[in-house]
Amino acid sequence: MSDQQTIIVPQISRVPGHEGKAQALLRWLIKRDIVEALPTTCGRGGRGMAYAIAPGARAVVERPERLPYGRPLNGLEVVTKRCIYTPSDEYHEAGCAECRREVGEALFDSLEEWMPGDTDNFTCPECGHEDDINGFLFLQPCGFSDLGFIFNNWGAATFRQAFLEEFAERLGYPLSLVQVRG
């Protein structure tokens, strides 16, 4: 069984007070018993530390029998640095929300300026529409933000829509749900 990630990303490049928001959401997930309170080595990222899946996770997914209980990689990693979240290493198509034209190549080329924080915006080369990079249309969901929540191997269980709506409300921004297959 290959590993995968389900990533919840706010649709904004810079979340005001992003580290505080990360801690508040983590406390909420712990209080609901969705993840454990202390990090362990159940993650993939920096030093492999993550918050392991807890019994309450069953209440927030459609297929609880598919949750990764017992798998070594089953935790939540909270990322508080600027990151690009895409379904794979291959760049995908993107379109302008204003003129609806394909702008993927130019948009993904602009990430060299976005990543270091030189800009949060992208300007459509076709019509001049400018917006936060997250305001453009992507064939597959992508995310560009200084905040991300990576759930390792939770994808097959599928988050309930009500949980995603509550997550977005607590965060204060619409979400992208990025699925990364291993």
Q: What is the pLDDT of residues 150-174, one digit of tens each?
A: 999 999 999 999 999 999 999 999 9
**Paired tokens of 85:** 């979240």
Mean predicted lDDT score pLDDT of the chain: 94
The neighbour count for residue 170, using CB atoms within 10 Å, is 13
**Arithmetic mean of pLDDT, 32-60:** 93
Which residue in 39, 71, 49, 34 sits closest to 159, CA to CA? Answer: 34
**Paired tokens of 154:** 């939770």
pLDDT, tens only, 111-156? 899 999 999 999 999 999 999 999 999 988 999 999 999 999 999 9
Q: Is the pLDDT of residue 50 over 80?
A: yes
How far, in Å, CA of 166 to CA of 159, rounded? 11
Query: What is the model's pLDDT at position 1?
Result: 60
How far, in Å, CA of 147 to CA of 21, rounded? 9
The neighbour count for residue 91, using CB atoms within 10 Å, is 15
Tokens 């800009």 identify what position?
119
Query: Per-residue confidence at 91, pLDDT binned at 50, 70, 90?
Result: low
How far, in Å, CA of 41 to CA of 135, rounded? 35
Rounded to the nearest angstrom, the gap between the alpha carbon of residue 10 and the centroid of all alpha carbons in its chain is: 7
How far, in Å, CA of 35 to CA of 37, rounded? 7
**Arithmetic mean of pLDDT, 13-33:** 98
Q: Is the pLDDT of residue 58 over 90?
A: yes
**Paired tokens of 36:** 């454990």
What is residue 13's DSSP assignment?
S
Query: What is the model's pLDDT at position 22?
Result: 98
How far, in Å, CA of 128 to CA of 52, rounded? 45
